[in-house]
Structure 1
Amino acid sequence: MAEAHQAVGFQFTVTPDGIDLHLSREVLKHIYLSGVTSWRKRAIRFKNGVLTGVYPASPSSWLIMVIGVMSTMYARVDPSLGMIDRIKNTLPVGEYLTVQTQTVLSAVVFATGLWLALIMLLRYTLKLLLSYHCWIFECHGRKSFSTRVWLNLVKIFSGRRPLLYSFQASLPRLPVPSVDDTISRYLESVRPLLDDDQYNQMEVVANEFKKDPAPKLQKYLKLKSWWASNYVSDWWEEFIYLKGRGPIMVNSNFYVMDLMYVTPTHRQAARAGNVVHAMLQYRRKLERGEHAPLRALGVVPMCSFQYERMFNTTRIPGIDTDFVQHLSDRKHVVVYHRGRFYKVWLYFGGRHLWPSELELQFQRILNDPSPPQPGEVKLAALTAGNRVPWARARLKYFSEGVNKASLEAIETAAFFLTLDDEAHGYDPEKLKSLDLYAKSLLHGKCYDRWFDKSFSLIAYKNGKMGVNVEHSWADAPIVGHMWEYVLATDCFQLGYTEEGHCKGDVSKGLAPPTKLQWDIPVACQEIIEGSYLLAKEIADDVDFHGYVFDEFGKGLIKTCRTSPDAFIQMALQLAHYRDKGEFCLTYESSMTRMFREGRTETVRSCTSESTAFVKAMENLKEKKEERLALFRKASEKHQHMYRLAMTGGGIDRHLFCLYIVSKLLGIDSPFLKQVLSEPWRLSTSQTPQQQINLVDLQKHPKYVGLGGGFGPVADDGYGVSYIIIGENLITFHISSKFSSPETDSYRFGQNIRQAMLDIRALFEQKNDKKKEKEEKKSPVALTTAHLTRHTPRDTLHETHPTRHTP
């Protein structure tokens, strides 16, 4: 009971002699330190807010401007062309405002106005410079003179030492493509998927839409683009995510995995302690805006608005639509273990808990033998089922009493943590280790992750970690940025003792975690069970296969003078054709973060060029030289489409917004209906590595991440996520549904492997010819391509059944 006594700030008793007051110095000390920390945070945020607000200038430049103006006045030169005198005449003369003071104040006002005008000019100039995108369409490694000049100008106007949000006001708005361009590109994208009759019919419908009602819809969209920061993002969040009434588990949420080969400690509580502490460090820098903004080429800034809702955020269910609740500076985290929920404070004495203190708290939870309360075990299944039952149950059973307080603790927590009672991770000796690891992160037991939280951190009993992420508030690269920082901080800054514990001491008087209390009636337990059964049916249907491709990586692909992403996308097209015997509408996500509040755009990877290449690969009579030429043509087309998507020339977000406008206006459009109903039977995404400087892979080659993945998008399709790790490794995360007789994730993984090897063979033949020419000139000469050439393996290290069960 010592902790309980120390938690009381003061005690008083009423006696015949009056009130006997006892104060706890220890608690008052912590109250004082908390207040000091709070005010320090406010001061730092205010300072960084000022720095961001005046960027690319600085507060010191204001002082220089004032001194400069005052100096010219003493030299009897008026830089204001009479404006200082006009300001002076408007100021009243009195006892406290002498003529001299009037003059100085007028000069300060003019200097301040001039300073603000220059800031606006700098920002507008930078915005114009950032609206230039011709650089992205140039060949890699070849910069034109105009691009070099442009890059230097961007560097000059970008200022020094920018903060995370410094460039937000200087980013251009996402442009609205013309209807003609969008329709033309759409017809081009579906041409390889339709026969002549179907295409002619689609062309007629598209042209009718272009005449009417497209011009009317376009005008409203243009109006929105002038008024809103981004004409897509708010509707995308609302209509694609928040208005969905189906389960978000598997269908929307995605996951991120731990390091591939390294487990820093096998102590569950210790690993969770270090990772949570690293997350708190990241959050502190995030709240202060102290992270460096992501910049393409190290120069062109990316939008940072998605970072704002990473922590202290929950998706709240509603009857008609959900909404995202974001709070500031939450000081606790909620932990789930064996059916019980605990509230753990993250601060003590005005500071973050040290990793060793967090380890102690988590170990206390692991050691707690108390049983769950009735209905508590599967409570989180409400977040895994349909949204309407969850919204109604929340209103009826969680709006008062202990249920309201406990639910509020979860929804206002910094994030959600699960101390899982299973062991997972990648083990090359175990056949399905990556498959089971991915399924655990994606859906778990359907009741041991709070799927509504911005993210749920999962700590396994063998020390492995992972993250399940709610998708509405941000996209995968945002969470990936945080996760890269956390893993690097955990391994290379915080570290562990020889016994695997967190480093550091533990403060005395640290109160234990608080177990959340519930009073869940039988009727509510039935709703929970219904959500669980639906979620379990979805989870059991996920056919997942994780494949580590180590035959070669981007190092060899670059020697082929092609984009690694285009190489993989062409391999996916070839693999899908071999898997299903047909082509399909293919989704690849690209970012539009070069624009303010940009999120994603679609690259339609199945093109006439890619289908021609695939058909040539399957035609035994086709010469390899022709196959290689078709591959290069298809890759260049894919890269061009990717660049168009990044620079606002994509198809799908424009069509989506036109469809929303048509619905709001009550206009029926057969063309838009058909476009928006087309299934994406192959949905793909690359997980980017954004902070390569955090880990030196030359010195630490084992410290590579596994990336992440998502569930299948179509009932009869595949979801494929991949991460290009270092120079010689690519990991594929493949998902589909067992209920579909057309798909098999393992089979598709094998087809991807063979497609990758077959495409590489095209370049090997070319490199062999170069080698022969070199050897004729000099028998000892070896080309770089020959030295980097790999020999394909005939068999895999492991075998796998054609179809497996979860």
Structure 2
Amino acid sequence: MRRTTTTPQGDLYKHQNDLPPLPVPKLAHTLDLYKESIKPLYPYGEKDEEFIKYAKIIDEFATGTQGSGLQSKLERFAADKRNWLAAFWDNYAYLDYRDPVSPFVSYFFSHRDANTAVGKDQLLKSASLTRKVLEFMETVEHETLEPELIKGAPFCMESFKWMFSNCRVPGESRDYNLVYDGSKNRFMIVISNGHIYKLQTHDDATDSILPFNALYYGLAEVLKDSEARGPNETPVGVLTSSNRDEWFSNYQKLNEISIVNKVNFEDIFKSSFVLCLDDCLPNTIEAKSRNCWHGNGLNRWFDKPLQFFVARNGSSGFLGEHSKMDGTPTLRMNDWLVGEMYKLDIDGNVAKPTTVPAIRQINFEINNEISEAIKTETETFNETVNSLDIKTWQYFGLGKDDIKAFNCSPDSFVQMLIQLAYYKYTGTLRPTYESASTRKYFRGRTETNRSVSSEALQFVKDWENPSVPVQEKLKSFRAALKSHGNYIKLASSGLGVDRHLFGLKQMIGESDEDSEVIKQFFDNPIFSYSQYWYLSTSQLSSENFNGYGWSPVVPEGLGLAYMINRKWLHINITNYKENPFGLKVDEMAYFLTLSVQELAEALRKETVKAKL
């Protein structure tokens, strides 16, 4: 863990010692909730013969020595820990994962555009963005950033310690993170034309952030130098797009080639963040989103938790490496910096500074084997990203204000909108993941909200049944909203199904492996099916973004990242172009529009009647 030498001046971490530990739910609670969550996944629900058989196994697991034994082990394991899940989760969910982090794990934000000099000029935007990121970093270092409170309850701020001067590093079978004292490493990494540069960010004498004009001219020098050199034919950064085992192998080889490479890696790891100056002109929202989501892989370092992009036309965005941070801390940073950046009244006449920041080009020494690996990974990356499709669905006829006026939870509304659209499209509902924040607990990250419920299934069936009166359809809709809201409250309180079942599974020892009840409970097909996320969803909302998303998590699936803003809705839809169900992102967008129009019309009529 980083130990910063900057003197704390604020209260960023003042609630950390008061945060409650993550609870271990009662076994009976979890298994009852689990049973309810799988009912709608069977063709005949609770009357399905397979469900009845499995329900008996669940009951035996709950009341017998096998389930209670695992529960006791987990409770003992958790007894001296403030977060029992943290001991497993980062490794299981992220660092053990061997597929490429981009495009499969990392998440992106595309910043809104502005018709100003800062909004449209690459260097003005880059210098403005850099300055604002550094100002945000200063509030984290000095701990003057306000701690977050939700309904008066403090949120864990631990992840901010991993935000700057941190990097994921490839390891054998498992990656790890290195985090450094940012106050001793006053520089950032800039990548342009595939060339990597180390750029000074603070005054050596005063340790103050360099003024805007110094940052501007430093970035201008980087851009000028990279253009003079032409595109880097062997950009080492593309290796960070590899399968993690491949990247680990090449990382080791690069370290063996030269001590220079070790120094280069250390500089990248220690840097505050990465800024990529991209030689492209993304104009559509999909093009802007794709540039943030993955780009061409040649002008990136995917292992950094904070990576920003500015294209030739000023289009900007962010990509977050996920292993130590979820989206809420970086949402806060990006939302703030975009708003602040566009307040700057700057034109193209930037005064030349008295001193230009120090710049060092980072040149890796490579051999033929590494050169071939770069070519291979470039081809593989292009094939991978070209296999994925993206569609940005934005609806300006409805927003959070309208949804609240309908007396609906905005998040539950969008979740049921997604279920209705998917049902219209496919004629069924399938397991759906929604991220629920557990940051009310120490080192809390996420729990799964299982959005498909018996009430959700009844709602979509009723809605599509022409013989059901509109009043009854809306009754079913509101029952589905209530069910969803109840589950997400439990999940946010650490009382969902998935993390607890995961914890119980980690407690299985040699003495348990021959237990038929344990085998029948965990090996039942519905256990894995109910965690096979055909729809991967999450909400992070900002008026300062025009894009936000990630990849689908299974070959048949959809990635559905959504924003609920005051006057408009946004859902980023991703999938594999070739998928077993033949799903198309454009067609899913069509059914979202159809569904939201039907829901809005019915709810508006209901609201009018209620006022009469």
TM-score (norm 2): 0.92
**Structure 1 counterpart of 2:282, from 424, 429, 445:** 424
What amino acid does structure 2 have at the position aligned with 1:620? P
What amino acid does structure 2 have at the position aligned with 1:403? N
**Structure 2 counterpart of 1:737, from 570, 576, 580:** 576
Asked whether the equivalents of residues 656 and 676 of structure 1 are also in contact (C-alpha less than 8 Å), the reply is: no
1:292 matches 2:146: yes
Instruction: After TM superposition, give the deviation of residue 706 of structure 1 in Å.
Output: 2.4
Give the match for residue 243 of structure 1: 96
1:448 matches 2:299: yes
Larger-gyration structure (1/2) = 1
1:566 matches 2:412: yes
**Structure 1 counterpart of 2:119, from 262, 265, 273:** 265
Instruction: After TM superposition, give the deviation of residue 676 of structure 1 in Å.
Output: 4.3
Q: Show structure 2 runs of 5+ residues with no match.
A: none
Q: Deviations over 1:200-227 (max 9, x none)?
A: 2322332343325322221121123221
**Structure 2 counterpart of 1:719, from 559, 578, 585:** 559
Give the match for residue 487 of structure 2: 641
Secondary structure at the aligned position of 1:683 is classed as strand
Instruction: After TM superposition, give the deviation of residue 375 of structure 1 in Å.
Output: 5.5
Q: Give the share of equivalent positions with the same residue, in percent.
A: 26
**Structure 2 counterpart of 1:336, from 191, 206, 212:** 191
Relative distance call for 1:331 and 1:498 in structure 2 (3 A) is closer
Relative distance call for 1:259 and 1:625 in structure 2 (3 A) is same
**Structure 2 counterpart of 1:407, from 245, 265, 268:** 265
Instruction: After TM superposition, give the deviation of residue 533 of structure 1 in Å.
Output: 2.7
Asked whether the equivalents of residues 393 and 572 of structure 2 are also in contact (C-alpha less than 8 Å), the reply is: yes
Instruction: After TM superposition, give the deviation of residue 373 of structure 1 in Å.
Output: 8.9
Tell me how far apart the structure 2 counterparts of residues 509 and 582 of structure 1 sit (CA, whole Å): 64
Give the match for residue 496 of structure 1: 345
Relative distance call for 1:260 and 1:220 in structure 2 (3 A) is farther
Tell me how far apart the structure 2 counterparts of residues 651 and 261 of structure 1 sit (CA, whole Å): 43
Q: Relative to structure 2, which stretch is displaced further, 192-201 or 332-341?
A: 192-201
Equivalent residues in 2 for 1:206-245, closer than 5 Å? 206-210=58-62, 211-245=64-98
**Structure 1 counterpart of 2:253, from 378, 390, 396:** 396
What amino acid does structure 2 have at the position aligned with 1:454? P
Instruction: After TM superposition, give the deviation of residue 197 of structure 1 in Å.
Output: 2.2
**Structure 1 counterpart of 2:28, from 157, 173, 180:** 180
Instruction: After TM superposition, give the deviation of residue 511 of structure 1 in Å.
Output: 4.8
Secondary structure at the aligned position of 1:750 is classed as helix
Give the match for residue 223 of structure 2: 366
Secondary structure at the aligned position of 2:411 is classed as helix
Asked whether the equivalents of residues 389 and 527 of structure 1 are also in contact (C-alpha less than 8 Å), the reply is: no
Asked whether the equivalents of residues 446 and 539 of structure 1 are also in contact (C-alpha less than 8 Å), the reply is: no
Asked whether the equivalents of residues 214 and 355 of structure 2 are also in contact (C-alpha less than 8 Å), the reply is: no
Relative distance call for 1:550 and 1:272 in structure 2 (3 A) is same
1:764 matches 2:604: yes
Instruction: After TM superposition, give the deviation of residue 506 of structure 1 in Å.
Output: 4.0
Relative distance call for 1:189 and 1:586 in structure 2 (3 A) is same
Tell me how far apart the structure 2 counterparts of residues 410 and 535 of structure 1 sit (CA, whole Å): 22
Give the match for residue 307 of structure 1: 160
Give the match for residue 601 of structure 1: 447
Q: Deviations over 1:247-303 (max 9, x none)?
A: 111211110110255554321111111111111111111012111111112x21111
Tell me how far apart the structure 2 counterparts of residues 731 and 540 of structure 1 sit (CA, whole Å): 23
Asked whether the equivalents of residues 215 and 357 of structure 2 are also in contact (C-alpha less than 8 Å), the reply is: no
Secondary structure at the aligned position of 2:196 is classed as strand
What amino acid does structure 1 have at the position aligned with 2:213? S
Give the match for residue 133 of structure 2: 279
Asked whether the equivalents of residues 294 and 302 of structure 1 are also in contact (C-alpha less than 8 Å), the reply is: yes
Give the match for residue 201 of structure 2: 346
Asked whether the equivalents of residues 706 and 723 of structure 1 are also in contact (C-alpha less than 8 Å), the reply is: no
Equivalent residues in 2 for 1:431-470, closer than 5 Å? 433-470=284-321
Tell me how far apart the structure 2 counterparts of residues 672 and 289 of structure 1 sit (CA, whole Å): 45
Secondary structure at the aligned position of 1:590 is classed as strand
Asked whether the equivalents of residues 100 and 244 of structure 2 are also in contact (C-alpha less than 8 Å), the reply is: yes
**Structure 2 counterpart of 1:171, from 10, 19, 22:** 19
Q: Deviations over 1:99-158 (max 9, x none)?
A: xxxxxxxxxxxxxxxxxxxxxxxxxxxxxxxxxxxxxxxxxxxxxxxxxxxxxxxxxxxx
Relative distance call for 1:512 and 1:647 in structure 2 (3 A) is closer
Secondary structure at the aligned position of 1:597 is classed as coil
Give the match for residue 683 of structure 1: 536
Secondary structure at the aligned position of 1:229 is classed as coil
Give the match for residue 85 of structure 1: none
Tell me how far apart the structure 2 counterparts of residues 267 and 415 of structure 1 sit (CA, whole Å): 21
Tell me how far apart the structure 2 counterparts of residues 375 and 206 of structure 1 sit (CA, whole Å): 58
Asked whether the equivalents of residues 687 and 707 of structure 1 are also in contact (C-alpha less than 8 Å), the reply is: no
Give the match for residue 205 of structure 1: 57
**Structure 1 counterpart of 2:544, from 704, 720, 738:** 704
Q: Deviations over 1:705-738 (max 9, x none)?
A: 2251111111111111111122x11111111110
Asked whether the equivalents of residues 335 and 417 of structure 1 are also in contact (C-alpha less than 8 Å), the reply is: yes
Tell me how far apart the structure 1 counterparts of residues 114 and 51 of structure 2 sit (CA, whole Å): 49
Asked whether the equivalents of residues 557 and 564 of structure 1 are also in contact (C-alpha less than 8 Å), the reply is: yes
Structure with greater contact order relative to length (CA < 8 Å, sep ≥ 6): 2
Asked whether the equivalents of residues 6 and 141 of structure 2 are also in contact (C-alpha less than 8 Å), the reply is: no
What amino acid does structure 2 have at the position aligned with 1:641? Y
Tell me how far apart the structure 2 counterparts of residues 582 and 519 of structure 1 sit (CA, whole Å): 54
What amino acid does structure 2 have at the position aligned with 1:388? D
Give the match for residue 593 of structure 2: 753
Secondary structure at the aligned position of 2:537 is classed as strand
Instruction: After TM superposition, give the deviation of residue 522 of structure 1 in Å.
Output: 0.7
Secondary structure at the aligned position of 1:334 is classed as strand
Q: Deviations over 1:500-528 (max 9, x none)?
A: x56xx443242552211222101112222
Asked whether the equivalents of residues 373 and 518 of structure 1 are also in contact (C-alpha less than 8 Å), the reply is: no
Q: Deviations over 1:655-677 (max 9, x none)?
A: 11112222687736433345246
Tell me how far apart the structure 2 counterparts of residues 546 and 392 of structure 1 sit (CA, whole Å): 37
**Structure 1 counterpart of 2:42, from 176, 179, 194:** 194
Give the match for residue 82 of structure 1: none
TM-score (norm 1): 0.70
**Structure 1 counterpart of 2:243, from 367, 375, 386:** 386
Instruction: After TM superposition, give the deviation of residue 634 of structure 1 in Å.
Output: 0.9
**Structure 1 counterpart of 2:369, from 523, 537, 552:** 523
Relative distance call for 1:510 and 1:347 in structure 2 (3 A) is same
Secondary structure at the aligned position of 2:229 is classed as coil
Instruction: After TM superposition, give the deviation of residue 770 of structure 1 in Å.
Output: 4.1
Tell me how far apart the structure 2 counterparts of residues 744 and 665 of structure 1 sit (CA, whole Å): 48
Asked whether the equivalents of residues 580 and 742 of structure 1 are also in contact (C-alpha less than 8 Å), the reply is: no
Tell me how far apart the structure 1 counterparts of residues 512 and 382 of structure 2 sit (CA, whole Å): 38
Tell me how far apart the structure 1 counterparts of residues 492 and 113 of structure 2 sit (CA, whole Å): 30
Tell me how far apart the structure 1 counterparts of residues 600 and 230 of structure 2 sit (CA, whole Å): 56
Q: Deviations over 1:592-642 (max 9, x none)?
A: 111111111111111000110100111001001101111111111111111
CA RMSD of aligned residues (A): 2.0
What amino acid does structure 1 have at the position aligned with 2:569? I
1:44 matches 2:7: yes
Relative distance call for 1:42 and 1:322 in structure 2 (3 A) is closer
**Structure 2 counterpart of 1:508, from 345, 354, 376:** 354
Instruction: After TM superposition, give the deviation of residue 756 of structure 1 in Å.
Output: 1.2
What amino acid does structure 2 have at the position aligned with 1:277? R
